[in-house]
Amino acid sequence: MEFFEHLKSYLSEEEIILLKESLEQPSKHALLLNTEKMEEDTLLNIYPLLKKHPLVKNGYLYDKNVYDLGRSIYHELGCFYLQEPSAMVVAYLLNPEENDTVLDLCAAPGGKTIQASLLMNNKGVIVANDISKNRALAILENAERMGRGNLVITNNDFSLISDNYHTYFDKIIVDAPCSGSGMFRKNNLMEKDWSYQKVLKYREIQKSLILMAYHLLKVGGTMVYSTCSFSFEENEEVISYLLDNSDAEILPLNHPLFYVNKKCPYGVHLLPCIFPGEGHYLCLIKKKGVTKNQNRLLNKSKLSFNIVDNGYSFFTQYGPYLYLQDKALNLKPLNIIRNGVKVGKIDKNEIRYDYHYARFVKDFPNKLAISEEQLRRYYLGESLDINFPKGYVLLTYQNLHVDIAKSDGRTIKNRLPKGLRKKFY
């Protein structure tokens, strides 16, 4: 079946023409500001041509021909995350809160996880899972750069462990694998690879994922189902399947930029002919009942090291490596890539601090401000000839945390992971 022909199940001829025309336009780009590291006024002073996202607080649209933000110093220092404008709406509407236990079931490369973490102010816990280990490692890279500590990054097939987490999560993100038609103008390979058979294949995967996720959701909890597909079969039809096989309720979503299928008004479409972003579908789902308030577990063990913990009360040690967490979690069935924030390696009576901890921590006993020229040299892997007292030192640039290096009194030794060394503008 031809692509536009199959959209006639819910779009009129006029709407299909408008969609066709929009797909011939350039794709849209946006950033999500990390207000823990940079204020809005500062961002707009540096990049005055940014435009506010129509829905998402701290979201901004930008022209990639004007700003190459992926190569910016401020991107490297975790001040913002580059995310497609429509994709930003998913976590924003779910609106996770500080004490929540959240699951992002298909999380890689981590945009929705990062946004949820920012909304939660780095509190509570998010299980950021992907069935592909290589893809899950991309979540780790973004978590470290952005200084996120409330994540447990995992590589699991949750269908094999779902009984361990029955009615466990307050909020769940199901950004389901799909045929990808919403990304046609962003990646023309998606268009060449599209087929109706692919839509039907993913529909069956999506049906199993949404039922499993609902099984994991607490009574009274909320989850969001999303795809980057225009297809009715992968969107409203999947929601209909959930409604036929559970007690789920659909939460209403209203905005002038949302498109609602009049024949089957479950969820909303973000169509590029209406919304300034790529094609997306999302639906907010609630499990009937009232969530029972649970008392937070408190950690009665004391850490033998005096470190800045940002208010986190739990710690875990894997071999010589120390990690901090804000909220306890049932970890037994999980294949863990990162549990909280990696503080560093315990070596006799000291901790060799990790890059992740440098980006996470709000303060540090010894700090040293460096210039832009010194920052560029440090990112190229060079040590810095600076007289400074011996020991570990947090390097900062414009009050932004760079890394925790080590001084021998005359030289600041470079400890930046080799994979992060690069040039930027």
How far apart are alpha carbons 377 and 103 in whole angstroms? 39
Q: Give me the active site residues, please.
A: 228
Please give the structure tokens belonging to residue 5.
């022909």
Please give the structure tokens belonging to residue 74.
């401020």
* 205: phi then psi, degrees, rounded to nearest 5: -65, -45
**The one-letter amino acid at 137:** L
Are 237 and 226 in contact by the 8 Å Cβ rule? The answer is: no
Burial status of residue 239 (CB atoms within 10 A of its CB: 0-12, 13-18, 19 or more): buried
- Whose CA is closest to 132, among 151, 112, 105? 105
Are 268 and 257 in contact by the 8 Å Cβ rule? The answer is: no
Are 77 and 370 in contact by the 8 Å Cβ rule? The answer is: no
DSSP per-residue letters across 327-347? S----TT--EEEESEEEEEEE
Are 265 and 243 in contact by the 8 Å Cβ rule? The answer is: no
Residue count of the chain:
425
Tally Cβ neighbours within 10 Å of residue 200: 14
> What's the start-to-end Cα distance of the chain, in Å?
46
